[in-house]
């Protein structure tokens, strides 16, 4: 198991290197003039020349890439052309915001998947209605789900759930940036619950499609695993249906569901770009749309790199869980 994890982490480094190279190359072949964006259109020739030196534009490409890559290793993502600040500083509050939302969305997708799959495998009237509702939601784009949930839970139901921002109280000064965690660390249940309440609607909007997909795969997996020869063996040895499900069904059904979750984790993270806009969530998504608007390439590159890294890390995490669940993955 240890060697499996080490191997997976090793390939993670390689993937991140290629991702860095791709982001860098895209920046170089793009048509936008970074100097103009940096200095503004009315800058004098001297200002432009100074900016070229400051941004390292005239260095050979290999040197620029080396600078870019070593900067990344030290946590330096470069300078934003629009805000003229270190991108790392810009992102110090928006990265935790997005990560917190992403984790919440993944957790919610798992909950939706498990609950719905139980409804799929055990048909009933309530189940049918719920399935239909979720299926319709899953077929709508996430911004539509986002606006709909704001309409229902905020407007019609009189604001039972907050529909904007991350907290009614603002951040703790010594906080980690993860509000739910901060609330727990400070022992304030009011603060924690308020942060969770703010997470619910955006997380739901980002996760419903993935949750429904997960439910289908999980339900299929459970059905076929309960009809499998080893389930028959367990029954012949006197196991009850629920024991067969607990001991054999869930475990065998979870491998394909986990693989799907790995893929969908990426979808959920990228759908946050849109969802954050709807809920005024100051995360990477909001930062990215601003950057795209003004052609702030280093900022765009930094966010892409981070989203890519998050995607790869999530996939690796799921692969490791998968290996723990299914011995054939690690022993084959």
| Interacting residues with other proteins (CB under 8 A) | 3, 7, 228-230, 232-240, 247-248, 251-252, 325-328, 331-332
What are the tokens at 43? 């800058």
Residue 232 CB, nearest distance to other proteins (Å)? Answer: 7
Which pair of tokens denotes residue 11? 């390939």
Q: How far is the CB of 255 from other proteins (least distance, A)?
A: 8
CA dihedral 49, 54, 57, 58 (to 10 degrees): 70
**Least distance (Å) from other proteins to the CB of residue 210?**
24
Between 52 and 330, CB nearer to other proteins: 330
Q: CA–CA separation, 243 vs 156, rounded Å? A: 44
- Residue placing its CB nearer to other proteins in the complex, 228 or 259: 228
Q: Which is nearer to other proteins, 140 or 329 (CB)?
A: 329
Measured CA to CA, the distance from residue 23 to residue 171 in angstroms comes to 32
End-to-end CA distance of the chain: 12
CB-based contacts of 120: which residues, under 8 Å, 6+ apart?
Answer: 127, 131, 215, 216, 219
Closest CB to other proteins among 44 and 236? 236
Closer residue to other proteins in complex, CB, 84/328: 328
Residue 86 pairs in a beta bridge with 79
Distance CA 154, CA 140 (A): 20
Task: Please state the closest distance from residue 320 (CB atom) to other proteins, in A.
Answer: 16
């Amino acid at each position: 198991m240890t060697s499996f994890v080490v191997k997976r982490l090793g390939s993670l480094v390689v993937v991140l290197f290629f991702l860095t190279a791709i982001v860098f190359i895209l920046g170089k072949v793009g048509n936008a003039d970074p100097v103009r964006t940096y200095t503004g259109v009315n800058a004098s020739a001297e200002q432009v020349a100074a900016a070229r030196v400051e941004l390292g534009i005239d260095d050979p490409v290999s040197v620029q890439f080396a600078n870019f890559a070593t900067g990344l290793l030290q946590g330096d993502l470069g300078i934003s052309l629009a805000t003229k600040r270190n991108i790392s500083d810009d992102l110090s509050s928006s990265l935790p915001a997005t990560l917190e939302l992403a984790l919440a969305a993944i957790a919610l997708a798992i909950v939706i998947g498990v609950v719905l799959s139980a409804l799929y495998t055990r048909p009933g009237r309530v189940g049918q209605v719920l399935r239909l509702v979720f299926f319709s939601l899953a077929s709508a784009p996430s911004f539509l789900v986002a606006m709909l949930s704001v309409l229902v839970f905020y407007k019609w139901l009189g604001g039972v759930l907050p529909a904007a921002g991350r907290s009614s109280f603002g951040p703790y000064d010594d906080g980690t940036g993860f509000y739910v965690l901060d609330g727990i660390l400070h022992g304030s249940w009011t603060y924690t619950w308020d942060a969770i309440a703010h997470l619910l609607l955006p997380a739901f909007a980002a996760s419903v499609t993935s949750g429904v997909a997960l439910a289908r795969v999980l339900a299929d997996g459970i059905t076929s695993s309960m009809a499998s020869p080893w389930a028959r063996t367990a029954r012949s040895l006197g196991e009850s249906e629920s024991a067969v499900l607990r001991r054999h069904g869930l475990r065998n059904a979870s491998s394909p569901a986990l693989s799907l979750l790995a893929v969908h984790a990426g979808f959920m993270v990228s759908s946050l770009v849109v969802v954050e806009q709807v809920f005024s969530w100051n995360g990477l998504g909001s930062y990215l749309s601003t950057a795209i608007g003004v052609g702030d390439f280093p900022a765009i590159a930094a966010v892409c790199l981070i989203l890519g890294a998050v995607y790869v890390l999530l996939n690796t995490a799921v692969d490791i869980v998968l290996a723990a669940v299914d011995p054939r993955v690690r022993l084959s």
